[in-house]
Structure 1
Amino acid sequence: MTTLPCLTAGSPAIMATRHSPLRRRIPNRPDGHFMQSTPMSAFAKRKSISMKPHWMISGLAALGFSLSAAPSYAVTPVSPAVAMQRASSNKQLVIDFYNQFFNQHDLSAADRYIGDRYIQHNPSVKDGKQAFVEAFTERFKQAPERRNTINRAVAEGDLVVLHVHSTSDAKDRGRALVDIFRVENGKIVEHWDVIQPVPDTSANGNSVF
């Protein structure tokens, strides 16, 4: 086996390679001399990157890439004012539905405010608008004085939250409800709720409302 000599940066072999006729250097000054290279600035780097060789541009184009415009997957931004207006409209829509359906017992309000696909998370009621109407038709018959008083309403994005005092009649202490509705394209499409009886006493003396 032949052992190659160890080469260092200053060895004649390296120097010969640097100045070999095979390694042509093109003068970069008008007078024919060579100008010492300096570190490339950030601007120059960006400029050099943008100056793609013709073969590279052709290759990218063949692969379907565009150098002038990149695909955008961002959703059109909504200004805070528009978002606030939508939330306010959703809140009013849910309040109108709630008062008409649960307080006036107007069952036709379901057709005006609930979407064709209605997702129900209350375990005692089936999915769908028709199932919802049927369930409360029977409940209103059993408690014709049933009322739901809205104490608070909060809206954010497509969700509307109501804090409600529900009673079957004037003598009923009732139940505390948190009803959550999701609104889509001007229709109520989903519902969640949390229910607890209004207690007789309280350790802190505060109402649940």
Structure 2
Amino acid sequence: MITKQTIMDFYEAFFNHQQFEAAQRLIAENYRQHNPGVGQGRAGLVEAFEAKFSSGEYFHLEVDRIVLEDEFAAVFLQSLDEQQQTKAHVVDLYRISGNQFVEHWDYFDRRK
């Protein structure tokens, strides 16, 4: 069962500590991505963030709130810069099936 803590742990491990193996449990292999800048499937997600992290650009996400109901999860967060200032507000929306994220949409409100 996916819980808010499961989601928090995933964000911390995958996005903030670049532990790509965290995707194995939570992201479905055939994950459908609606962000045109990220490839399809679990492999597409990992590939996109491997490239982002290897660019050397500072990247850190701070989760503000998680809403989890039925087959959907919404994660409200901030993308922070090195001074811990907000670069963007982000909302990730996931559809859940079989205790994994199977589909993803996102919204960015860039500050800089």
Question: Is the TM value for this pair above 0.5?
Answer: yes
Could you tell me the percent identity over the aligned residues?
A: 32
TM-score, L = length of structure 2: 0.87
User: Which of 1 and 2 has higher RCO (CA within 8 Å, sep 6+)?
Assistant: 2
Tell me the equivalent position of 2:35: 122
Equivalent residue, structure 1, for 2:54: 141
Match of 1:107 among 20, 36, 41: 20
The 5 A counterparts of 1:10-21 are none
CA drift of 1:172 comes to 5.4
Count the aligned residue pairs.
112
User: Deviating runs (4+, > 4 A) in structure 1?
Assistant: none
Q: Supply the AA of the counterpart residue of 2:47.
A: E
Q: Larger C-alpha radius of gyration, 1 or 2?
A: 1
Deviations 1:84-117 (A, max 9, x none): xx6xx44332222111101111111111221121
Q: CA RMSD in A?
A: 1.9
TM-score (norm 1): 0.49
Gaps of 5+ in 2: none
Q: Any conservation in 2 of the 1:182–1:189 contact (CA below 8 Å)?
A: yes
- Letter of the structure 2 residue corresponding to residue 178 of structure 1: V
State whether residues 146 and 166 of structure 1, in contact with CA within 8 Å, keep that contact through their aligned partners in structure 2: yes
Structure with greater proportional strand content: 2
Q: Is the 8 A contact 2:77 2:90 kept in 1?
A: yes
Unaligned regions of 5+ residues in structure 1, if any? Answer: 1-85, 200-209
